[in-house]
Amino acid sequence: MFAVRRFALLKAWYVEHAGSGAGVKSPRREERFLYGICEGMIDVAWLCAFAIRCVYWLVLLACNFLGYSTLWAKREIKQRGERYEANRKIPAHVAILNNDGTIKKEMLLSLLEAALAENIRRLTIYDSSTVYVDLAREIQGFCRVKHIKIVVGCINPTHDFSAYRLVVQLLSAECGRPKLVDTCRELSSSKSRITTECISSHLAKHYALCEPDLLIQVGTIPSLCGYPPWCLRVTEIVPVRSLPCSRYAFSECVEAFSRRDIRLGKFYMKVVCDYKVQPIKMAELAHAIPAVDMINATSRLQIEAAEVRASKPNWGSYLRSQMIPQEDYNFISAYENAKSKEERDTVLAANDANGQAARTIVNLITNVAKDQNVRYVLTLLDDMLQEDKNRVEIFHNAARKQKRTAFSWFLGILQRQDNFIVNQMSSIIAKLACFGSTLMEGSELNYYFSFLKDQLKSSSSNEYMNTTARCLQMMLRIDPYRLAFTESEGVQAIVAALNGKTNFQLQYQLAFALWCLTFNPDIARRTPSLGVIQALGDILSESSKEKVIRIIIATFSNILKKVEEKDIKKEAALQMVQCKTLKTLELTDAKKYGDTELEEDVEFLTSQLQLSVQDLSSFDEYCSEVRSGRLQWSPVHKSDKFWRENAPRFNEKNFELIKILIRLLETSQDPLILCVAAHDVGEYVRHYPRGKTVIEQYQGKQAVMRLLTAEDPNVRYHALLAVQKLMVHNWEYLGKQLDVEAPETVAVK
């Protein structure tokens, strides 16, 4: 800037003095001017060089700094990665239990590649619906290139597979309970006492069935689905919705295993700041983390509860911040520190008389805002009641002193947004209602049953359906609850859930609830009209699970035993016959399950159903079909003899059959049912002189005419025929005319 300013001043001076000379040029002035220009240019050049030098040093300094930072960051990331990999727990044996369809070739190949990438040494896949022999043959080439050994069924322990990178064992249903039976049979021949360790050792030695480190349970609803139960004592279970075929999805499951703080059955892993792992004996934490039976932990609630138990809140911080009083802190700390049931009973007894035990639990559930801590307290309460059913009286007695019910404390929790909290609370309410001497009544009972019904209605998206069904199993064992549940249309909710997509475990639980209901004779009388028999009959004809078959047969037997009215009993038996129950009973009897009660029920049902078939008339069969709402093109629908003989009988019981047919025309969405119903209405009008008047009286004509615009062409066709029969007085004459004119119409075309 200095040089530029000097140049400008020199130029101005030259112009001023040059002009004043009146055209006379002075050599000295020109020399001075040129000299000033040169000095200005030299100054500018020097400043430019100085600026370039400064920029150079700044760039060099920045490059050195950034380079050092990059090297430091890379070194730090590398060191952290090495520390993480050193402490990361990679399962040596991973098992996959598939409940989500058949495993295809592409799925299996992706799984094998993902397992190789994670350095898994052994992979066990259990799927009862997959034919593994053909699948193993298809991937032989791939396994040979990748050094993978595929074994179908149980491996011979004498084989040496150390040369292979990965050993894959494909298990089917035959490797489940049958192997356990064989093991027990072989061990029974010895004189030594049979223990769990003996069974596990024998299975590992003779069938190579070992306990996996990680079990990936695949399916929308958590279920072990027949997986060998002896293999899950010390196994971490990770539930996923679909098969983890990609490397990323499989790595996520392994990462979930590595992050687990609890090594169930082994030891507790506590990660500290310096990345070191400190193992603590599980026996030392027995009082803090109750034992979890992972064999029975098939529901999502139980699996999550096992993790919640490990997240113990810091009650001291709550006390210091005055969020809980000293009395609550004293009780919860004493109860958590109790190491046995006897010590816990002592703590509860000391705080029962003054109501402190119940008050503390209620305060921690209702006043603590953090969901994680509410989860912990609810799980603690559930374990408390499960350990000793008589402890429910602690809460009932405390509520009675306040002139209220124990349920009033907790029903509001069912409106929370956290699904675990809601379902854990539902389970606790069921225990309070069933374990104690105080029954739930009135609006509280109706509110709770409404909640359970809403859970059933959302069965397709409800991941805690097994918990809802378990609550129903407990509640419906008590007769007063059965009537209240039935009056609130709870049976229809169970039937709707059974008609949806359910796994066998949920089928069993809901069928168990219906079985409990049938012990009440009034409810058993209603089952034929509520669709219970049809829903259970469909499951019975398709299911291969013994416990599902047993509970449904017991339910059918209960219905026929409890119902005394001959007409209702006959109707129930006919519905069972239509569901092909006789064939299922014959197959069940041939299998010889060895269950005395099941054999007695099969024998009783077979005799009752065969007796009903002997007295069955075509009209009885038709009535049963119409009342079930499942119309099909059975022979009676198109038999002129049947309609001539039985059309007047449609007027019996205040036109019951006519009303059902019209209701089906108005409400059904099944094209087959609509076709058959429209056809039957037309046949009734054709064979009964006053049939048209009766149909119009119950708005059947409008229902048929609405079907003329249906999307299905078959429905439109049968609706058109029925309308013709309603409009034409002499149907026989019209039929003859149509027969005569038909050839002429064809000739014109």
598-653 pLDDT tens trace = 888 888 988 888 877 766 677 877 887 787 777 888 778 888 888 888 888 888 88
Helix axis angle for 532-542 and 504-517, nearest 10°, is 140
Looking at residue 9, its pLDDT comes to 54
Q: What mean pLDDT is predicted for residues 10-14? A: 53
The structure tokens 């082994």 sit at 266
How many whole angstroms separate alpha carbon 328 and alpha carbon 322? Answer: 11
Alpha helices in 563-699 (DSSP H): 566-578, 581-591, 596-614, 618-628, 640-646, 652-667, 671-687, 691-697
Distances (CA, A) of 115 to 290, 671, 736: 33, 49, 75
Sequence-separated (6 or more) residues with CB below 8 Å from residue 548: 504, 507, 508, 511, 539, 540
Looking at residue 108, its pLDDT comes to 81
335-351 pLDDT tens trace = 988 888 898 989 998 88
- HSE toward the beta carbon, residue 224, CA cutoff 13 A: 22
Sequence-separated (6 or more) residues with CB below 8 Å from residue 452: 426, 468, 471, 472, 475, 490, 493
Q: Name which of 448, 507, 498 is nearest 476 in CA terms.
A: 448
How many whole angstroms separate alpha carbon 247 and alpha carbon 689? Answer: 73
How many whole angstroms separate alpha carbon 627 and alpha carbon 634? Answer: 15
354-367 pLDDT tens trace = 889 889 999 888 88
DSSP 439-478: PP-HHHHHHHHHHHHHHHHTTTT-TTHHHHHHHHHHHTTS
Strands 277-281 and 267-271 turn out to be antiparallel
Is the CB of residue 606 less than 8 Å from the CB of residue 582? yes
How many whole angstroms separate alpha carbon 396 and alpha carbon 140? Answer: 65
Instruction: Identify the band that residue 157 occupies on the pLDDT scale cut at 50, 70 and 90.
Output: low
Residue 105, pLDDT above cutoff 60: yes
Q: What mean pLDDT is predicted for residues 136-153? A: 81
How many whole angstroms separate alpha carbon 213 and alpha carbon 232? Answer: 9
Is the CB of residue 87 less than 8 Å from the CB of residue 57? no
504-554 pLDDT tens trace = 888 999 999 999 999 999 999 998 888 898 889 888 888 888 889 999 999
Adjacent-strand bridge partners of 278: 270
Distances (CA, A) of 433 to 380, 430, 441: 18, 5, 9
Q: What mean pLDDT is predicted for residues 231-249? A: 69
Residue 557, pLDDT above cutoff 80: yes
Instruction: Identify the band that residue 270 occupies on the pLDDT scale cut at 50, 70 and 90.
Output: very low
Amino acid type, 538: D
Give the least confident one: 209-213, 248-252, 293-297.
Answer: 293-297
How many whole angstroms separate alpha carbon 358 and alpha carbon 361? Answer: 5
Residues found in the chain: 749
Is the CB of residue 215 less than 8 Å from the CB of residue 91? no
Strand order across the 267-271 sheet? 262-263, 267-271, 277-281
Helix axis angle for 356-367 and 326-337, nearest 10°, is 100
Is the CB of residue 128 less than 8 Å from the CB of residue 223? no
Give the least confident one: 123-132, 515-524, 575-584.
Answer: 123-132
Looking at residue 284, its pLDDT comes to 34
How many whole angstroms separate alpha carbon 449 and alpha carbon 474? Answer: 13
291-326 pLDDT tens trace = 333 333 346 788 888 888 888 888 888 888 888 889
Backbone Cα Rg of the chain = 40
Residue 567, pLDDT above cutoff 60: yes
Q: What mean pLDDT is predicted for residues 49-54? A: 84
Question: Residue 651 phi/psi, 5° resolution?
Answer: -85, -5
Looking at residue 66, its pLDDT comes to 62
Distances (CA, A) of 703 to 260, 345, 631, 720: 61, 67, 17, 12
| Structure tokens belonging to residue 393 | 């009286």
709-746 pLDDT tens trace = 888 889 989 888 888 888 875 455 445 444 444 444 33
The structure tokens 């490397």 sit at 247
652-665 pLDDT tens trace = 888 888 888 888 88
404-463 pLDDT tens trace = 999 999 998 898 888 899 999 999 999 999 998 889 998 999 999 999 999 988 766 778
Is the CB of residue 619 less than 8 Å from the CB of residue 657? no
Does residue 128 sit in helix, strand or coil?
coil
| Structure tokens belonging to residue 86 | 């050193």
First to last CA, the chain: 106
Residue 501, pLDDT above cutoff 70: yes
451-474 pLDDT tens trace = 999 998 876 677 888 899 999 999
Looking at residue 279, its pLDDT comes to 34
Q: What percent of the chain has pLDDT over 70?
A: 77
Number of H helices and number of E strands within the chain? Answer: 36, 9
700/223: higher pLDDT: 700
Amino acid type, 697: Q
Distances (CA, A) of 419 to 214, 366, 464, 470, 604: 26, 16, 8, 16, 44
Residue 275, pLDDT above cutoff 50: no
Residue 87, pLDDT above cutoff 70: no
How many whole angstroms separate alpha carbon 244 and alpha carbon 406? Answer: 45
